[in-house]
Amino acid sequence: MSAADFTRLTELFPDELVTHSYVQDIQLPSAHGKPSAGTFALITLDNGLDHSKPTTLGPNTLAELGTVLEGLRDRAARGEIVGVGVTGKPYFLVAGADLSAVKSLEKRDQGLWMAQLGHDVYATLANLGVPSFAFINGVALGGGLEIALQATYRTVSSGAGALGLPEAFIGLVPGWGGVYILPRLIGPENAVQVMIENPLSNNRTLSGPQAFKLGVADALFEPADFLEQSLAWAAGVISGEVVPERPNAVDPSDPAVVQRWSSAVAAGRAFVEAKTSNASPAPAKVLDIMEANRTLTQAESAELECETLAGLMQTDEFRATVYAFLDLVQKRSKRPAGAPDRKLARPITKVGVVGAGLMASQLALLFARQLKVPVVMTDIDQARVDKGVGYVQAEVDKLLGKKKMSQDAANRTKALVTGSVSKEVFADADFVIEAVFEELNVKKQVFAEVEAIVSPECILATNTSSLSVTAMAQDLRHPERLVGFHFFNPVAIMPLVEIVRAPRTDDAVLATAFELAKGLKKTGVLVKDAAAFVVNRILLRLMGEVTAAFDEGTPAEVADNALRPMGLPMTPFTLGAMVGLPVAQHVQESLHAAFGDRFAVSANLQKLIDNGVKSLWVPTADGSQEIPESTLALMSFGSSPSTGEEVLRRTQDALAGEIGLMLAEGVVAGPEDIDLCMILGAGWPMFLGGITPYLDRVGASERVNGKRFLPAGAASRASQESVDSAVS
């Protein structure tokens, strides 16, 4: 990039939190009593703040690093140093590019300058004239891992977590050399895993040992003396005593590798299609660059990366992802709207769970594992209690077998979970949650029995997915102690808890619920006591529109696939089967009772339930799916079929209308909380930014409500000019 472009870019960020490049000269150790192997320049990347403020890469950070590397290149040319290393402050190498900075680049040229600046700096690291080393002591994501990849050699700490190239997840491509270097270093199949499969699987990352096993790093050392061991290893490499082996490395010009490369790219494209329906441009662009650069030079690939990156920075999908990931998941989730002062929260030293079925057992395991307090389950007979406790023990054994839990932790967790047929065991509990049958009278009876036993300070919670918390509380002596605490299935994986405040729920109870969610490593969102709260109300409206189109005569494959442009994790009929048709119908009936014909109850669905049909689709021998004739014979259909486009638009408008009503009702504080709930509770794609930015972009918000949910620029380009040319 030109000097003028560089100056213009850095001037855009006068308030950047700069990650500084501190240089220290170290005399390398030498084996066998020989003199020092020479002077080694070690760069430590540090923003001067503690581990709660990760080091990131903005333009001024890159400029400083580039200046330091140029000075070291000159020293190497004079023979003053024998090698250069890069490491980071405790727990971090670098957490990647500063997304706030990248998001603020409003013009394509600015994004291009940012991409070119990174390549210019990293190229200096790769061409110092002496060997370069990256000592990966902690988090290394995106541009942070690409610094390491540009070095000649790499070590990694066994304690390092979160290594990866997550750009496909955030709407970009690895733009500073990773997409070129990684497949050559670890093989094309492994590279697709790191660049495509992991990011699109809930942004999965690599641990230090996993990165070493794949070949991302050349050596693995323990955290206690990681830097000392890395320097000693570097000395051995420089002296020739250590020769790193790279069994996964490939030469893309090798005829045997050509087919592997093509197959890996094809497998990546199939994975992207299955995960996103190609609704986001970034994953395909990653694979396009990888496919092209098999026959390109690194410089040619760098040019392609920069052009692609500059275009993607201007897409709504990228800006929506930054909104979802940075503004919502990273920020708003940590400061829940409407949550009382956390100082009001009470300590929880024992938890009671009413019920010992699957959901109750999952809750018991979660509470015991995360809070490390006694948890006792009850049910109506000993067989059910034993089954619930047995489930917890079996799940602990699975975690132990997968080495996700130590033997001591497994023993402690098992000992914490007990069961009883008597609710008297709740007498000294601080928090009792019910997970019994979704029937209001049953739940009211449970709470009446529990309240007669527990202390006046004990908090009562319901895991109801759709029933009125207010109605459950109306006969309690202390209705202020009841709170909704709605988990999503599977409990261990889904991060959302809808925290439901009934009219008389007091602040101390609510504050405790939020602190409890945090202690369980979940995100709590405050919701009003309205039928089905947030996630289920939106999902059932979506499923209801698709089901209605099917009942009206739309072919099943058309109705079920109509929403594929949304890039949802599964189709509506698949979701219904996963939730369970009776459960879905029960929630739909609750919503119909509350809101009328917007939530129509399908007679066809009821016929399937009455006849024990668990899923509309069944797999066929060739791997496809079909609806059996016996299932079709149970149902009757109208004569008003719709096209896929009509079903999509109908559903978009229904969702926009429903969310507009929810906001008017005050179900949550704002559209951001709707988005956070759908991302964390329903797996709504990050690249859509949540549901409201999507409905804004497709025009449904204005068609139905006459206005957008979010202002332009919050999760999209401030200007609505087309960016087609930017990503073509």
Q: Look at residue 637 and tell me whether its pLDDT is greater than 70.
A: yes
Return the structure tokens found at 290. 């990888």
pLDDT of residue 34: 62
Residues designated catalytic: 146, 167
Name the DSSP letter for residue 57.
B
pLDDT tens track for 368-379: 999 999 999 999
Return the structure tokens found at 195. 């660049």
Instruction: Please compute the mean of the pLDDT values over residues 598-623 and round it to a whole number.
Output: 93
**6 or 14, which is more confident:** 14
Sequence-distant (≥ 6) Cβ neighbours of residue 18 within 8 angstroms: 47, 58, 60, 61, 64
User: Are 237 and 43 spatial neighbours (Cβ–Cβ below 8 Å)?
Assistant: no
pLDDT band at 726 (very low <50, low <70, confident <90, very high): very low
Task: Identify the CA nearest to 316 among candidates 714, 728, 19.
Answer: 714
**650 or 31, which is more confident:** 650
Please give the model's pTM, rounded to 2 decimal places. 0.88
pLDDT band at 1 (very low <50, low <70, confident <90, very high): low
> 3-state DSSP call for residue 462?
strand
- pLDDT above 70 as % of the chain: 98
User: Are 220 and 209 spatial neighbours (Cβ–Cβ below 8 Å)?
Assistant: yes
**Mean pLDDT (the chain, rounded):** 94
d(CA 20, CA 120): 18
> Locate tokens 């733009």: which residue?
175
Regarding beta strands 496-501 and 482-487, do their DSSP bridges make them parallel or antiparallel, or are they unpaired? antiparallel
Q: Look at residue 645 and tell me whether its pLDDT is greater than 50.
A: yes
pLDDT tens track for 538-582: 999 999 999 999 999 999 999 999 999 888 888 999 999 988 999
Q: Look at residue 585 and tell me whether its pLDDT is greater than 90.
A: yes
pLDDT of residue 713: 84
pLDDT band at 225 (very low <50, low <70, confident <90, very high): very high
Go through 65-88 and write b for each residue having 16 or more CB atoms within 10 A of its CB, e for each that does not: bbebbeebbebbeeeebbbbbbbb
pLDDT band at 99 (very low <50, low <70, confident <90, very high): confident
Q: Look at residue 720 and tell me whether its pLDDT is greater than 50.
A: no
pLDDT of residue 103: 78
- Which strands, in side-by-side order, build the sheet including 153-157? 20-28, 38-46, 83-88, 132-136, 153-157, 219-221
Task: Identify the CA nearest to 495 among candidates 320, 672, 682, 362.
Answer: 682
pLDDT of residue 712: 86
Q: Look at residue 506 and tell me whether its pLDDT is greater than 80.
A: yes
Q: Look at residue 36 and tell me whether its pLDDT is greater than 80.
A: no
d(CA 16, CA 687): 26
pLDDT band at 35 (very low <50, low <70, confident <90, very high): low
pLDDT band at 718 (very low <50, low <70, confident <90, very high): low
Return the structure tokens found at 70. 């140029």
Return the structure tokens found at 701. 């918000």
pLDDT tens track for 328-346: 998 999 999 999 999 999 9
Task: Identify the CA nearest to 638 among candidates 555, 581, 562, 544.
Answer: 555
- pLDDT above 90 as % of the chain: 87
Sequence-distant (≥ 6) Cβ neighbours of residue 231 within 8 angstroms: 26, 28, 29, 40, 42, 85
Q: Look at residue 587 and tell me whether its pLDDT is greater than 80.
A: yes
Return the structure tokens found at 310. 């500059």
pLDDT band at 411 (very low <50, low <70, confident <90, very high): very high
pLDDT tens track for 76-90: 999 999 999 999 999
pLDDT of residue 29: 81
351: buried, middle or exposed (CB in 10 Å: 19+, 13-18, 0-12)? buried
User: Are 58 and 102 spatial neighbours (Cβ–Cβ below 8 Å)?
Assistant: no
pLDDT of residue 567: 86
Give the range among 11-15, 277-281, 399-403, 420-424 with minimum mean pLDDT: 11-15
pLDDT tens track for 174-211: 999 999 999 999 999 999 999 999 999 989 999 999 99
pLDDT tens track for 467-498: 999 999 999 999 999 999 999 989 999 999 99
> Locate tokens 């000395």: which residue?
235
Return the structure tokens found at 129. 């004239």
User: Are 218 and 153 spatial neighbours (Cβ–Cβ below 8 Å)?
Assistant: yes
User: Are 86 and 136 spatial neighbours (Cβ–Cβ below 8 Å)?
Assistant: no
Q: Look at residue 31 and tell me whether its pLDDT is greater than 70.
A: no
Regarding beta strands 482-487 and 459-462, do their DSSP bridges make them parallel or antiparallel, or are they unpaired? parallel
pLDDT of residue 427: 98
pLDDT of residue 724: 42
Half-sphere exposure of 435 (CA within 13 A, CB side): 24
d(CA 144, CA 155): 14
Residue 446: CB atoms within 10 A of its CB come to 22
d(CA 419, CA 443): 19
pLDDT band at 719 (very low <50, low <70, confident <90, very high): low
